[in-house]
Structure 1
Amino acid sequence: MCTSYEHSASWGNPLLAGTCSQFCPPEESERRKALRRLHVLEVSPPHTEGASGCNTVPVKEFIRSGAGHVTPVPSDLRPLSVLVDAITYLITRVCERSDYPWWLVCEFVTNRLQSIRQDITYQQLTGSDVDYICQLAARFHLYAQYRLWRCPVDKFDPKLNRDHLQQCLVKLVRQGIVSYPEFEAYHLLVNLGNPHSVQHALQLSNDLRSHPCVVRALCISRSYMENNYIRWFRLVSSLSPLEQSAVLPYVSTMRRVALSIVSKAYCSRNSGIPIATMSTWLLMSDIASTAELCTMYGLEVRGDTVSIKRGAFTLPAKEPEDGLDIAHKLSPSHLILPSLIF
């Protein structure tokens, strides 16, 4: 990994260069320890090998800027090398913790990632290591979307997580200096049907636009806009786990569109569609789930066939929050920290 970086000063803004060599400024660390405000994930689990007593690893908290907020001093800011070490620690160590619910892990890591990005903004840092941090943060938010998709909203806010993801992706794809095919594809998949995202992708260089993952993402976006559900689900089935996570919010919509089209195109009194075929079309995990979904939309299931009568399709009171079975056996850090070379 390249460690080069630059400070980029804006007109009229003094340049700050961080001098804090720890994950958390000592003053904040001591204050939070005294007030007993250390997060449970900043304390080493009791079964940690070699741990003596209670080991703590504080990581700087994110505090939103606002009226009355004091401008940070260099000793409160971490230089880029420390920020890289901090995000690597969060991904490889904290994300792997299993002694607490993962929604709590996500809440903690999200806050600390905001703090890392805030330090980058205060120091106006640019360069390959800043891109590296944004890449890991984007992958983390994609993984969180998959991992906590059915988690209650009071524990995981998918909209807020998506906002953080968008901020990371925009920084990576709109900077106009270096482009990354993987993240150009994520940007398209997260913003399906958005004409600005499609236009941006079509204006990429030939080498980048012809990269397999960008070509596939463009095809998926086009299928989504055309309501071509057969092609859309077929292409989605070939995506990587994090790419499938990017399209999760669109799955329910495409299944509703598919059932609406099927209810008109295959309307018949005496015949129907094999439920196994319907399951394949909709990329469902099993026959039972397919039957339940069809029933919710007013389609009658008789044995192994979906019977479609004229006018039977109806919208449920609440759209089902169905998703995809993203099958993988990798740990969070293996999904978030793959090779960055294409």
Structure 2
Amino acid sequence: MTMPVEPIIGRCLLMCPEKERRMREREGLLHKYEVDEETKDMRKRKADPTKIIKSFSRSAAGQDMTDPYSLRPPHVLLSTIRYLFTEIITRTDLDWTLIYDFVFDRLRSVRQDAVIQRIDITTNILLLEPIVRFHTYAAQRLCEKKVSEFDAKINNKHLLECLKQLLVLYDERDYKNRNNIEIHEALEKLALNDSRSEMEALYILLHIGDQEVLKRALTLSSDLSRNSPAIQIATKISLAWYLRNYVRVCYLAQQLPPILACAFFCNLQSFRRSVLQIMSFGYNSKVLTFPGLKLQKLLFYKDISRVQADCNLFGLTFTNENVLFQKSQFNEQVLQANPEMYYTSATLHKFIPKILLECTSN
């Protein structure tokens, strides 16, 4: 008979274990945001115990990843996320790329502590939901950065890992509630439904036009889908994309709230490529041109120079701010348009309270 595995309960009540703090002080591995202000100009800087946060580390020989005194219990993990979102993400004294790198690493450590302790479903959901929002937001804010500054593929990998884990947790919670295994969670479900509908909508928009994802969306419980404007509009957009009705996609996308818009615009390069290819066939002509300014509005370009850049990329003729579409000219070898933020950095920074802070206020 297999004996049940004893749960590991973290006993570190600070955001960073004392052992790691001493090591990082000794090795000079403190981040600017973790340094004690009184020692910031010293050769050997000291950490502020209220600011330093446990960093992510891979398991290695001789390293005990299950030491309770190196693991933070669930309530400390939640307060760590709250600190990162209220005190770090909002800062403007560093380039946001550097802020992203710091927060990304520390959130990864939070997830690692949660996995090792096998924390309960509800707490895991509360941890993962703001992390998903962070990666979705970063995907839009940093999409124009060079790969040496921001790796969109790695960000997307972690985003989808967290989101898929969330969906599994939601399904597990639903199963337990249906079977009355955890009756007390029925009340928690009511409080978490708003966030769940947002996460389900994000999943739909990040996999826009995907048949399997659409199938999941259309088979969600009626209580969830019927009462969720977010799921309804995300499903309509994805279905319109699947049917290649891009005019409807454009119309509906403009109605999305900021966090869902960030998810939709993760597909902007593919969206522009698909529409430009279709128009190359539909408006094929050797003489007649299509107004560039109208195309700019249709495909969410910020200015006409971006339209010209993509026309050059796909081999289309751009002259006098108009586009000459010819199907024989379209370069099908190019799979995506140039990256571009739909919002400005200033606008995205103003979105932080609504996108990232409200989800940690509870």
- Calculate the TM-score normalised by the size of structure 1: 0.86
Which residue among 125, 131, 135 is the counterpart of 1:131?
A: 125
Sort the Cα spacing of 1:22 and 1:271 in 2 relative to 1 into closer, same or farther, 3 A: same
Paired letter, 1:131: I
Superposition deviation, residue 189 in structure 1: 1.0
2:139–2:155 CA contact under 8 A, matched in 1: yes
Paired letter, 2:209: G
1:296–1:316 CA contact under 8 A, matched in 2: no
Paired letter, 1:289: R
- Per mean C-alpha deviation after superposition, the further-off stretch among 138-147 and 302-311 is 302-311
- Per mean C-alpha deviation after superposition, the further-off stretch among 294-303 and 310-319 is 310-319
For 2:315 and 2:212, the matched residues in 1 are separated by 36
Which residue among 270, 285, 310 is the counterpart of 1:268?
A: 285
- Residue 203 of structure 1 is matched in structure 2 by 219
- Per mean C-alpha deviation after superposition, the further-off stretch among 246-255 and 20-29 is 246-255
Pairing 1:102–2:119 present: no
Pairing 1:43–2:35 present: yes
For 2:36 and 2:233, the matched residues in 1 are separated by 43
Paired letter, 1:159: K
- Residue 20 of structure 2 is matched in structure 1 by 28
Which residue among 315, 320, 333 is the counterpart of 1:303?
A: 320
Paired letter, 2:320: G
- Residue 4 of structure 1 is matched in structure 2 by none
Sort the Cα spacing of 1:330 and 1:45 in 2 relative to 1 into closer, same or farther, 3 A: farther
For 1:70 and 1:256, the matched residues in 2 are separated by 49
How many residues of Structure 1 are paired with residues of Structure 2 in the alignment?
327
- Residue 181 of structure 1 is matched in structure 2 by 197
- Residue 294 of structure 1 is matched in structure 2 by 311
More helix by share: 2
SS in 2 for 1:337: helix
For 2:132 and 2:37, the matched residues in 1 are separated by 27
- Residue 332 of structure 1 is matched in structure 2 by 352
Superposition deviation, residue 135 in structure 1: 1.1
Superposition deviation, residue 228 in structure 1: 2.2
SS in 1 for 2:8: coil
Superposition deviation, residue 264 in structure 1: 1.2
Paired letter, 1:89: Y
RMSD: 2.7
Superposition deviation, residue 108 in structure 1: 1.4
Sort the Cα spacing of 1:186 and 1:340 in 2 relative to 1 into closer, same or farther, 3 A: farther
2:300–2:342 CA contact under 8 A, matched in 1: no
Superposition deviation, residue 217 in structure 1: 1.0
Paired letter, 2:212: H
- Residue 299 of structure 2 is matched in structure 1 by 282
Which residue among 179, 201, 207 is the counterpart of 1:191?
A: 207
- Calculate the TM-score normalised by the size of structure 2: 0.81
1:237–1:283 CA contact under 8 A, matched in 2: no
- Per mean C-alpha deviation after superposition, the further-off stretch among 16-25 and 57-66 is 57-66
- Residue 236 of structure 1 is matched in structure 2 by 253
- Residue 5 of structure 1 is matched in structure 2 by none
What percentage of aligned pairs have identical amino acids? 29
For 1:124 and 1:168, the matched residues in 2 are separated by 15
2:36–2:46 CA contact under 8 A, matched in 1: yes
Superposition deviation, residue 333 in structure 1: 4.4
Q: Which runs of 5+ in 1 are unaligned?
A: 1-9
Q: Which runs of 5+ in 2 are unaligned?
A: 174-188
Which residue among 166, 182, 188 is the counterpart of 1:172?
A: 166
- Per mean C-alpha deviation after superposition, the further-off stretch among 203-212 and 181-190 is 203-212
- Residue 240 of structure 2 is matched in structure 1 by 223
Sort the Cα spacing of 1:120 and 1:159 in 2 relative to 1 into closer, same or farther, 3 A: same
SS in 1 for 2:262: helix
Superposition deviation, residue 12 in structure 1: 4.0
